[in-house]
Structure 1
Amino acid sequence: LATFQAEWRRRYLCTFFACDVLALFPWDTFFQLAGGEGDDNLLRWFLWTRVVRTRHVMNYFHRLQRDIRLSYFAVRVVKLIFVELYITHVAGCFFYFLATTYPPDQEGSTWIGSLTLGDLQYTDFRDIDLYTRYFTALYWSVITMATIGYGDVHPVNPREMVFAMVYISFDLVLSAYLVGNITAMVVKGSNTTRYREKMSALIKYMNRKPPAACAAAADETARAAAV
């Protein structure tokens, strides 16, 4: 056990330790103290180190999936919904972030600075309320992920075009992941599902207090199946 813990610590120090430490710093406060609106301020890029910490949430979902006391189907559904909502949220925020990397006198060269939706014009978009800016960016992210592409909100400059291409390419992989997981849940053909069903049946049997020999044999079988 001690050897395993030492190996785990070594791997953590060599992989995610630096990112986790950077994510702990209040970079938004540092950015405001450094001038706030400085579009060339490198501190604003460190804000994105917090995205790396999302893996802790995914690890939490993995632990829930192994908990036979919980519904495997419900946990998987919640996990898939979380993944989709989180990715669209991050993509929308980063799409808006790219627009803010341009100085105010070049706002017309960004997707939001040149945007007009109905009677609403987004010139001087930094002065528009936060909710309007957020839901506009989220709208683009959701529509792009759904591959609908109405075209009313679209990238304008090379930075935004490159990000849009990367995001669409990633969406193809994500869509395959979501469809594959949903299919696996519907047909219930995965080994994990069968294992959980057997363990649930075993727990019901053990609750009936079988003879000690039977209980020991069942426990040994369950441990061997979990390896």
Structure 2
Amino acid sequence: MDATSLAGLRRTYEGRPLLETDVAADPITQFTRWFEEALEAGLPEPNAMVVATASAGGRPSARTVLLKGYDEHGFVFFTNYESRKGRDLAENARASLLFPWHPIRRQVRVEGSVARLAHEESAAYFNSRPYGSRIAAWASRQSAVVRSREELDARYAELAARWPEEPPVPDFWGGFRVVPTEVEFWQGQLERMHDRLRYRRVHPGWVLERLAP
């Protein structure tokens, strides 16, 4: 079978030049600038990011997850600790994040070590979620095989009946923080001569480097 050609999907990238003299001294401040511009541009879910992990044996996997907070300490998301990504991170506590802001011809890539949030932080976020999302966190043994949709719905209904108001925080659910060691900002440019600026952690600060496209 011949490979399907995608040559017709070629496109031209053109964006404002990304220069060393124009960016912030640290990647979190620069991320905030770009995130705010993504919001202003009307991107539907600018906090959607691809989270890539690998098992202890090096088997990679990736999925889209929502960023739920960030600061100078790192980027935070929440999940079931028994999910595939949770198991990967228990074995190999490193991850890569990718924010694919295609409509504005930008992307941000983050690499770093990963640590669980304190239970108090996870509980505070869990209790702020809509009731249905909290029940769903209990009902779904994320990444496990289920026999049918009906089985999943029955499990949800059973738990909603058990906790009609305030479900407790599951002990298998919580947050992770990706503590960045590298943050790269990519800006599309004409003729594939894209701008790539990478912040690399060199304690106690950051080194800014330009990468070839």
TM-score under structure 1 normalisation? 0.21
Taking CA–CA contacts closer than 8 Å with sequence separation of 6 or more, which of the two structures ends up with the larger relative contact order? 2
TM-score under structure 2 normalisation? 0.22
